[in-house]
C-alpha cells in the first residue's frame, strides 16, 4: 500500500503545495518550513558522527588485520595465525552478543563476519587444501549465514550478497570458461540474482519491517541489477551477427525493471535516485542504438561524430526536464 500522507517527508515542495491548497495557514506554513529546513540538533549530529566514525574505525581495523597477516605471513606459525584470527572472531562475536542491537554490537558482528574470510584463507594456505577461490567465498557465505539471518543489519546482508556475487563470478570463470556466451549467461544470472534481492527488499520494506526502511541498500541493489542487464542490452544492439538469447532476454528485463522503478517512485511518493538510474540506462541504450544505426547501417561515420553529441545533449536535457517534473509532481526534494 502507498505511504500514509503523514509518513511522507516534510519537504518544502510538499509544504508549499499544502499552503497553496489552503490546508496550512501562512503562520503554520512559515513554522513548518522553518522546521523542515532546520539544521539537525546537537544530539542528532552526535549520533551521526558516532555511527559514522564507528563504521570507519571498524573498516580500518579490519583492513589492518588483513594487512597484518599479509606483511607478517612468513614470520608466524600456522597455529599462531589461526589462533589470532579465531581470537578476533570470538572477541567480536562476544562483543556483539553483549552489546545487542546497538550500533556498536551490529558493527562488532559485521567485524566477526568479515574475519571469517581471512580465517578460511589462512587455513587454506597453511594446510594447502587445494580449494578454488570460489569455494572460499561460498564457504564464507555459508558460515556467516546464521549471523546474517539473525542480525537485522543491512550492511551485513549487503556483505552476504557481495560474497554470493563474487563466488558466482569466480565459479563461472573457473568452471564454465571465458567465452562470450558464457559471459552473457553470467551477466544475466547476476542481473536476475540481484534483481531478486532487490525485489525481496522492497517487498519486506513495504510490509513495514523496521530495519528495512533505509533507502541506500535498494539503490545499490538497483545498480547491481541494471548494470549487467544494460550491458547485455548494449551487447545485443552492437552484435551484428552473434546476438545471443541471453542478450535478447536482457532488453525486456530492463524494460520490466524500468517499469518497476517508476511504479515504485509513485508508490513511495518520490524516489528520484532510482528514476535517475533508469534515465541513465535508457540514455545508454538509445545512444548505442542510434550510434549503431549511423555507423553500421547508414555508414556515415563522420556525420555520426556530429549527430551523436547532439542526441546525447538532447537526451540529457529531456531526462533533467522529466526528473524535475516528477519531483514537482511528487513533492520530493531534488537533493534526495
pLDDT at residue 132 in the model? 81
| pTM, entire model | 0.82
CB atoms within 10 A of CB 67: 10
State how far the Cα of 265 lies from the Cα of 274, in Å rounded to an integer. 8
State how far the Cα of 316 lies from the Cα of 312, in Å rounded to an integer. 6
pLDDT at residue 12 in the model? 65
State how far the Cα of 298 lies from the Cα of 300, in Å rounded to an integer. 6
Domain ranges for the chain, please list them. Answer: 1-38, 50-177, 182-336
pLDDT at residue 276 in the model? 92
Burial class (CB in 10 A: 0-12, 13-18, 19+), 297: exposed
Low-confidence ranges of the chain (pLDDT < 70): 1-21, 29, 32-38, 177-180, 241-242, 269, 331-336
CA distance to 199, 236, 259, 285, 296, per residue, from 289 (Å): 29, 10, 20, 6, 10
pLDDT at residue 298 in the model? 80
Residue 283 has, within 13 A of its CA and on its CB side, a CA count of 19
**Start-end of H helices in the chain:** 12-20, 26-36, 42-71, 78-99, 103-127, 133-151, 154-171, 180-206, 216-238, 245-267, 272-292, 301-330
State how far the Cα of 126 lies from the Cα of 144, in Å rounded to an integer. 22
The values of phi and psi at residue 4, to 5°, are: -65, 145
- Tell me if 175 sits within 8 A of 135, measured CB to CB: no
Q: Of how many residues is the chain composed?
A: 336
Q: What is the pLDDT of residues 147-188, one digit of tens each?
A: 999 888 999 999 999 999 999 999 888 877 666 678 888 899
Amino acid at each position: 500500500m502507498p505511504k500514509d500522507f503523514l509518513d511522507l517527508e516534510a519537504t518544502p515542495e510538499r509544504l508549499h503545495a499544502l499552503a497553496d491548497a489552503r490546508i496550512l495557514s501562512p503562520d503554520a506554513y512559515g513554522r513548518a518550513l522553518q522546521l523542515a529546513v532546520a539544521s539537525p540538533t546537537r544530539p542528532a549530529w552526535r549520533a551521526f558522527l558516532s555511527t559514522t566514525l564507528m563504521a570507519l574505525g571498524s573498516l580500518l581495523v579490519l583492513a589492518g588485520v588483513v594487512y597484518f597477516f599479509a606483511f607478517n605471513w612468513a614470520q608466524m606459525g600456522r597455529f599462531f595465525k589461526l589462533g589470532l584470527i579465531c581470537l578476533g572472531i570470538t572477541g567480536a562475536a562476544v562483543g556483539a552478543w553483549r552489546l545487542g542491537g546497538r550500533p556498536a554490537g551490529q558493527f562488532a558482528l559485521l567485524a566477526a563476519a568479515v574475519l571469517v574470510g581471512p580465517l578460511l584463507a589462512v587455513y587454506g594456505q597453511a594446510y594447502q587444501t587445494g580449494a578454488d577461490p570460489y569455494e572460499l567465498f561460498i564457504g564464507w557465505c555459508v558460515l556467516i549465514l546464521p549471523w546474517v539471518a539473525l542480525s537485522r543489519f543491512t550492511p551485513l546482508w549487503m556483505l552476504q550478497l557481495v560474497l554470493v556475487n563474487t563466488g558466482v563470478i569466480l565459479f563461472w570463470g573457473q568452471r564454465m570458461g571465458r567465452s562470450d556466451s558464457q559471459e552473457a549467461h553470467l551477466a544475466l544470472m547476476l542481473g536476475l540474482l540481484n534483481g531478486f534481492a532487490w525485489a525481496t527488499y522492497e517487498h519486506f520494506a513495504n510490509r513495514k519491517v523496521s530495519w528495512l526502511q533505509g533507502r541506500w541498500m535498494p539503490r545499490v541493489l538497483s545498480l547491481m541489477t541494471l548494470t549487467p542487464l544494460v550491458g547485455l542490452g548494449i551487447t545485443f544492439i552492437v552484435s551484428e551477427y552473434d546476438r545471443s538469447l541471453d542478450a535478447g532476454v536482457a532488453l525486456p528485463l530492463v524494460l520490466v525493471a524500468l517499469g518497476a522503478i517508476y511504479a515504485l517512485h509513485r508508490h513511495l511518493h518520490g524516489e528520484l535516485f532510482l528514476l535517475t538510474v533508469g534515465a541513465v540506462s535508457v540514455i545508454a541504450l538509445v545512444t548505442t542504438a542510434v550510434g549503431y544505426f549511423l555507423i553500421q547501417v547508414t555508414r556515415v561515420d563522420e556525420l555520426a561524430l556530429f549527430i551523436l553529441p547532439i542526441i546525447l545533449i538532447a537526451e540529457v536535457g529531456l531526462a533533467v526536464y522529466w526528473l524535475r517534473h516528477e519531483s514537482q509532481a511528487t513533492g520530493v526534494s531534488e537533493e534526495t
